[in-house]
Structure 1
Amino acid sequence: MTQSTPSSAMAGAPLNKFHLTLLACCSFIMFFDGYDLIVYGSVLPTLMNEWSLSPDQAGWLGSAALIGMMCGAVFLGSLADRVGRRPIILHGTLLFSLAAAATALAPNPDIFWALRFITGVFLGGVIPNIVSLMNELAPASKRHTLTTVMLSMYSVGSIIATLIALWVLPLLGWQPIFFISGVSLLLLPVLYRQMPESMAFLMSQGRVTDARRLLTRALPAADHALIDWTVPPATQRASVSVAQLFRSGRALGTPMVWIAFGMCMLMVYGLNTWLPKIMIASGFDLGSSLQFLVVLNVGATAGALAGGWLGDRFGNKKVLVAFFALAVLSLVFLGMHPAPVLLNALLFLAGATTVGTLAVVHAFGADFYPTGIRSTGVSWCSAIGRFGAIAGPILGGSLLALKLPPEQNFLIFAVPGVVAIVAVLLVISPKTASRAKTMQMPEDTVAVKN
């Protein structure tokens, strides 16, 4: 009788309470990722007035958390392939929550920048690992859907941050908006009790007893006698290097995935940071401009959810190309002074296909790498992508400093979408590349849906 591996048994499990609990825990973290990162765009006009910031200074201040995320993804995200997903996720969540809440106490831009940077470092370590964990433990038939549902909570957090800013800013100022980030600390005991470890990591470390417990949680009726619990030899448990991301047919695919991440993040963070100021420059008041940010992120939530459903049916690659094309079109038309109803419709579509696409591109990256190097792969995608995220706020500040017409600002933000389309089209699945070069190792074969 053929035995299955523990990971394949997990992949074949039906959707149940274990998966929904995992989804809830990871979604909770992603919600506060969206809240903590987008809250800056909500308070930006107020901070610029209070601290007399120029657009260039405000853009640099907005990049602090994103620079931190890049550093965290490189150093903490990759560390999880050696110490496990769970400790990085739990301790990172504790520390980014503390740093985010402490930002409310910042007396000047320098301290504000430092606290935002620290927040970003621990977010950067946590996010790639919850993406990898969901991708590894979800049922294979629901993997893309669950991953993108989780990632869509980023947009929900963004919406809540903007709505709180609309209500709190006029009454209490910007500080209480950051204090609210500390609410995430209240649910940490639940995360410590419920967050599982990666099955692949447990087996790679020879922790068979823990692996059996995990399978029982996910698949209570599993017959352990039908599972091959053989621990891989030490020679197959070597530490992961970045060079492995370019091997086995991934020499072109890895940099192209990086570019897709970077271009997507440039549009996401550029628009979320500067949309209120761009709309104010177009003649709208602060309240209306923040409402436009809500519309953008409502669209983002819808786009992320739709992307997950479409990804399970047509493949993430096709969905990404379609979404980036719609993003380009929506941003181009936003620069043509549309009527109010069309303006909101285009902002909804722009949110769905820029911010919403962020969920799809993470699932695309997770698909591209095999389990043994997935956290390292997704972490480096996220880290390199942060160059685009950092560039977004800085680019927006530079454009406003140049006092360009609003329509030109939208056109410039559409260009990264074109670059992203080309990059995604150039990504070839490792399996396809191996057939062409006859060099692929069987255990490294992971196909990207085309």
Structure 2
Amino acid sequence: MTSDREELRRRSVTWIVALSTIGLVFDGYDLVVYGTLVPLFLRSPGEIGEITPAMAGALGSYALFGVLVGALLAGSVGDIIGRRKVMLAAYAWFSVGMALTALASTTTAFGILRFVTGLGVGALVATTGALVAEFAPPGRRNLLNAITYSGVPLGSLLAALLAILFLGSIGWRGMFLIGAIPLVTLLPLAIVKMPESPAWLAARGRAAEARAVQQRTGVMIDEVGAITGSADVPRERAGFGGLLGRSYLLPTLLLGLLSATGLLLVYALNTWLPELMGRAGFSTNGSLAFLLVLNGGAVLGALGASRIADRFGPKPVVAASFLLGGVAVALLTVSFPLGVLLAFVAVVGLGTSGTQILIYGFVATYYRTNVRGAGVAWCAGFGRLGGIGGPLLGGFLIASGLALDSIFYVLAVLALLGTALTFVVPAARKAGSTVPVPATVSGEPATGAARA
């Protein structure tokens, strides 16, 4: 019986992680495809109008501002109506947004549609970590979160690769239409295969539904409750109210700043690296290849680092990744052979996008169930302030005429700031008592404590 349940859980978790990862692949594609098009927009005013570097930075930030709003809204809504509904709605929302963006003919329409699309992207990023953490078995939560969130840099890599191969033939409008594919592929599959979190159902008092999901998936509520050392404590506030309580206020502020620092680096580089490397003398395709290597390094580095995080905890691993990224960014100013330069760019990927993947795992396993959705949403939403600033910072630094080496040094200092912030995040709270699983979930006779 136990082996049957383990096999059922394995299949269920595989489906959940696979669907979540694919969703974030398109999420990452949506957010980075613009970076692959910036050189085209800067040099071809006939596309959507004349664009300066400063305006290009602003257009890149509109989608990220939408992500901020969408993530914060999803944190409240997801803890009320459930993870599944928010994720399905997000798949549909950002797919339609990408399709409409492909039809834009002015910078104003383009910017508005980028913001609207970002709402769906933010809702998905904010909800995915909570769902995966509540299905992942103990001892593999950082790994499975890393696999899932590696979809973001994989999508970035996909955007760079497709731009190299097809931008000349399908144009920028075709690049955006690719981002609408989930509407007719991923969404129908997720409707059938993605269950609601049994831990969330139990926390909302929907014990019969939680038990039904347990039977279908093999995931036990006492396992997901063990993420923070105990099951939920009903007397404590849920959602954003719980984040503002004495137990979580300081770490929530620090984790938000940590995420903002990481995303500032992520989007500064993903938006402007092709342009920066072009100014260093590389061809258009060569510059896009650096973007591909950056995100490839993020995926491979985060997957390896997440195994270490599951063994020793995510905090020291996040700090070390930031530090490595900062050193690697500074070394981009040295005249190395191309192969060595690409290797350093891959390490930069680990220290930026890869570190952000680890941060999502850090946050998803830091909070108890009834505030986890809000915690991940805060991390994704507040962090987007850094994401918004990334394209703007890059545009400002370039427009100011700052030397290329100086721009890389500025980014290296930001990575060192991320290292410092990581060290001051308090250890995750370990509650001293557990709360029994509701009787109708566990299948045991009801007790007064369970009914309370």
Scaled to the shorter chain, the TM-score interval is: 0.7 to 0.9
1:32-431 map, 5 Å: 32-51=26-45, 52-187=50-185, 188-219=187-218, 236=234, 240=238, 242-431=240-429
Q: In 2, Cα distance between the equivalents of 1:14 and 1:339?
A: 50
Q: In 2, Cα distance between the equivalents of 1:374 and 1:205?
A: 13
Q: In 2, Cα distance between the equivalents of 1:443 and 1:281?
A: 58
1:15-34 map, 5 Å: 16-34=10-28
Q: Is contact 1:56-1:397 (8 Å) kept?
A: yes
How far residue 280 of structure 1 moved from its aligned partner, in angstroms, is: 1.1
SS at match of 1:173: helix
How far residue 131 of structure 1 moved from its aligned partner, in angstroms, is: 0.6
Q: In 2, Cα distance between the equivalents of 1:185 and 1:242?
A: 30
How far residue 223 of structure 1 moved from its aligned partner, in angstroms, is: 13
RMSD over aligned Cα atoms: 2.3
Q: Are the structure 2 counterparts of residues 89 and 45 from structure 1 closer, same or farther at C-alpha, using a change threshold of 3 Å?
A: same
Q: In 2, Cα distance between the equivalents of 1:254 and 1:278?
A: 34
How far residue 217 of structure 1 moved from its aligned partner, in angstroms, is: 2.1
Q: Are the structure 2 counterparts of residues 137 and 237 from structure 1 closer, same or farther at C-alpha, using a change threshold of 3 Å?
A: farther
Segments ≥4 residues shifted beyond 6 Å: 11-14
SS at match of 1:107: coil
Instruction: Give the TM-score normalised by structure 2.
Output: 0.88
Q: Is contact 1:72-1:121 (8 Å) kept?
A: yes
SS at match of 1:141: coil
Q: Is contact 1:131-1:363 (8 Å) kept?
A: yes
How far residue 237 of structure 1 moved from its aligned partner, in angstroms, is: 8.0
Q: In 2, Cα distance between the equivalents of 1:223 and 1:178?
A: 40
Q: Are the structure 2 counterparts of residues 32 and 114 from structure 1 closer, same or farther at C-alpha, using a change threshold of 3 Å?
A: same
Q: Is contact 1:12-1:140 (8 Å) kept?
A: no
SS at match of 1:388: helix
SS at match of 2:205: coil
Between 242-251 and 82-91, report the one with greater CA deviation: 242-251
Deviation string 1:260-317 (CA, Å, 9 cap, x unpaired) is: 1011000001000000011111111211100111111111111221122111112100
Q: Is contact 2:239-2:372 (8 Å) kept?
A: no
Instruction: Give the TM-score normalised by structure 1.
Output: 0.88
How far residue 49 of structure 1 moved from its aligned partner, in angstroms, is: 1.8
Q: In 1, Cα distance between the equivalents of 2:196 and 2:152?
A: 22
Q: In 1, Cα distance between the equivalents of 2:54 and 2:355?
A: 27
Letter of the 1:94 counterpart: A
Q: Is contact 1:250-1:430 (8 Å) kept?
A: no
Identity of aligned residues (%): 34
SS at match of 1:140: coil
Q: Are the structure 2 counterparts of residues 172 and 218 from structure 1 closer, same or farther at C-alpha, using a change threshold of 3 Å?
A: closer
Q: Is contact 2:76-2:240 (8 Å) kept?
A: no
Q: In 1, Cα distance between the equivalents of 2:250 and 2:221?
A: 42
Deviation string 1:97-122 (CA, Å, 9 cap, x unpaired) is: 11012211110111111111111111
How far residue 78 of structure 1 moved from its aligned partner, in angstroms, is: 2.1
Letter of the 2:362 counterpart: F
SS at match of 1:368: coil
